[in-house]
Amino acid sequence: MIRETLSPRSDWRARVEALGLIWHEGEQRPYWDESACYRFTRGEVDRIEAATGELYRLFLAAGEAVVSDPALLNRFAIPAAFHDPIREAWEAEPPSLNFGRFDLGFDGGDAPRLFEFNCDTPTSLLEAAVVQWAWKEECFPALDQFNSLHEALVARWREIAPDLPATVHVAHVADLAGEDAVTAAYLRDTAEAAGIGTVPILMERIGWDHDAHCFVDEADVRIEALFKLYPWEWLVREDFAPHLLDNLERGDLIWIEPVWKMIWSNKAILPVLWDLFPGHPNLLPASFAVPQGDAVAKPLLSREGANVSIRRAGSIVAETAGVYGDEGYIFQSLYRLPEAAPGCFPVLGSWVVDGAPAGMGIREDGLITSNTARFVPHVIDG
């Protein structure tokens, strides 16, 4: 795994915008950063792909353990009223993309190690699936890339299409940066490429029909299937949570992704994994109690690296602000990321679609990967 410095294309902004990545600027430097790339050997990519498939297997076992143990599910800070809907959805396996991004530490030598699984509302999707592939085809046409993500998403939509209504609503929040809007628009593209009609809607525009006991769009049309780029842990704490429970009990709306994703996307799954598979080469030791050694403290429900702290020799050496933490923390043993360039610590985002490895994206940041991270493309060389 080698980081190579490059000269960006003179018209890179126009090129990525033409592919839909309208949000590409960061505070200090571009978010889409083609001033560098990572070169991997085929053997390194094979190890990343194998680790990704193995981690999915571990998550299946951990999910089964959690839904089977009420005491364990209580550790996840999920409102008790939603425990039964989670168990029911886990057993029923409703239609879903079943996709997500494993964030991994990898130095090219030791086995890839799991940091967390972003599988409820994962972003950096368009740049991983489309933008970096187009960059590779133009700049390194003779090389390969670990990337079948676009094809896998379209194929998965096509596979679940018979179980979906004619139209799927796709919802997101009106974020200032446009990151969620870009991701939602891309997922609409993949659904429509599979022959599924979609309707965009902002989360705040979704209404509730009290007479029909159903969610409706701005035209008062019943929503029968909803892809929501909005965390379940936020949904279950909204004022309309009682309506949500009513809806889940009726089972007349297909939620993509399903409510059981609250288990896998919660950091509490990390100690469960370690308890089930202690010493596994793709896991880091994790617990609910403060360990004696160097560790990373993570709130159960944090996003974009918020409220994370790194602790070495009893002192906090890096931390981020945010609004999380009241729900509790887990502690994960510190993994020392390689510093590929001064101040650049890469985290690999290895994607799965319906549980199968489908591609990789890389984000660089400081010691804690946050919403200031930059996306750097990659190639396979040799």
H/E run at residue 346: strand 345-353
Task: Give which of 3, 64, 61, 65 is closest to 34, Cα–Cα.
Answer: 3
Whole-number Å distance between alpha carbons of 264 and 117 = 7
- Mean pLDDT, residues 100-107: 97
The dihedral region occupied by 359, where left means phi > 0, alpha psi between -120 and 50, and beta the remainder, is: left
DSSP 281-303: TT---EESSPPSSSEEEEETT--
pLDDT score of 342 more than 70: yes
Among 253-257, 342-346, 363-367, the range with the most confident prediction by mean pLDDT is 253-257
Whole-number Å distance between alpha carbons of 125 and 268 = 24
pLDDT confidence of 57, banded at 50, 70, 90? very high
pLDDT score of 330 more than 70: yes
pLDDT score of 208 more than 80: yes
Domain ranges for the chain, please list them.
2-266+337-380
pLDDT confidence of 26, banded at 50, 70, 90? low
pLDDT score of 32 more than 80: yes
Mean pLDDT of the chain: 94
Tens digits of residue pLDDT in 275-293: 999 999 999 999 999 888 8
Q: How many residues does the chain have?
A: 382
Residue type for position 255: W
pLDDT of residue 177: 67
Task: Give which of 177, 99, 127, 153 is closest to 362, Cα–Cα.
Answer: 127
Whether the model clears a pTM of 0.85, i.e. scores above it, the answer is yes
pLDDT score of 229 more than 90: yes
pLDDT of residue 315: 84
pLDDT of residue 359: 98
- Mean pLDDT, residues 287-300: 91
Q: State both tokens at 159.
A: 């596979």
Whole-number Å distance between alpha carbons of 105 and 30 = 23
pLDDT score of 370 more than 80: no
Q: State both tokens at 230.
A: 């909005």
Task: Give which of 303, 154, 302, 173 is closest to 229, Cα–Cα.
Answer: 173
Share of the chain above pLDDT 70, in %: 99
pLDDT confidence of 27, banded at 50, 70, 90? low
CA angle 361, 179, 18 (to 5 degrees): 80
In sequence order, the β-bridge partners of residue 214 are 209
DSSP state of 141: T
pLDDT score of 189 more than 70: yes
In sequence order, the β-bridge partners of residue 360 are 350
Tens digits of residue pLDDT in 234-284: 999 998 899 999 999 999 999 999 999 999 999 999 999 999 999 999 999
**318 in Cβ contact with 366 (< 8 Å):** yes
Whole-number Å distance between alpha carbons of 34 and 9 = 8
- Contacts (Cβ under 8 Å, ≥6 apart) of 374: 26, 29, 30, 31, 32, 33, 363, 364, 365
Q: State both tokens at 156.
A: 């998965």
Task: Give which of 257, 217, 220, 238 is closest to 355, Cα–Cα.
Answer: 257
Whole-number Å distance between alpha carbons of 288 and 330 = 5
Tens digits of residue pLDDT in 112-164: 999 999 999 998 999 999 999 999 999 999 999 999 999 999 999 999 999 99
